[in-house]
Amino acid sequence: MARKVVNRKELRAQADAAEAREKSGGKKEKPVKEKAVKEVAAKEPKAPAKKPARKKVAKEARLKAYWGVFNPAMKRLVLFEYADKKAAEKKAADLTASSRAQHFIQLVKETIAE
């Protein structure tokens, strides 16, 4: 899909030559090809400009933070309120002590149903 390179100097020379011919009195008719293109363009009615479609803005979901206690397989075992971090840490320590697996806490954000 490469475009042909336009040589501006040649086009300018052609335009100057055409002006010189018109001034000297020799009228040259436009080529048939240009006439046909202009006539077709003049006959076709222009379509009205379409308004751009408004995009719907996605409503941002509200999130709430919790502390989750997880096992090594990333399975959430217990969920605590954000303010109860000490309780979540204690639960993770108890689970780790009762089993061989290391349990941990991680911040969890869930959407609020309105």
Mean pLDDT of 73-87: 95
Domain count, the chain: 2
**Among candidate residues 104, 109, 106, the one with its CA nearest the CA of residue 72:** 104
**Does 38 share its domain with 68?**
no
Q: What is the pTM of this model?
A: 0.48
Contacts of 110 (CB under 8 A, 6+ apart): 63, 64, 66
Residue 65 corresponds to which amino acid?
A: A
Query: What is the chain's Cα-based Rg?
Result: 38
Q: Please tell me the predicted confidence (pLDDT) of residue 6.
A: 77
Q: Please tell me the predicted confidence (pLDDT) of residue 31.
A: 53
- What is the percent of the chain where pLDDT is above 70? 80
Q: Is residue 53 part of a domain?
A: no
Boundaries of domain holding 33: 8-43
Q: Is residue 17 part of a domain?
A: yes
Residue range 35-75, pLDDT digits in tens: 555 565 556 666 778 888 888 888 888 999 999 999 999 99
Q: Please tell me the predicted confidence (pLDDT) of residue 109.
A: 95
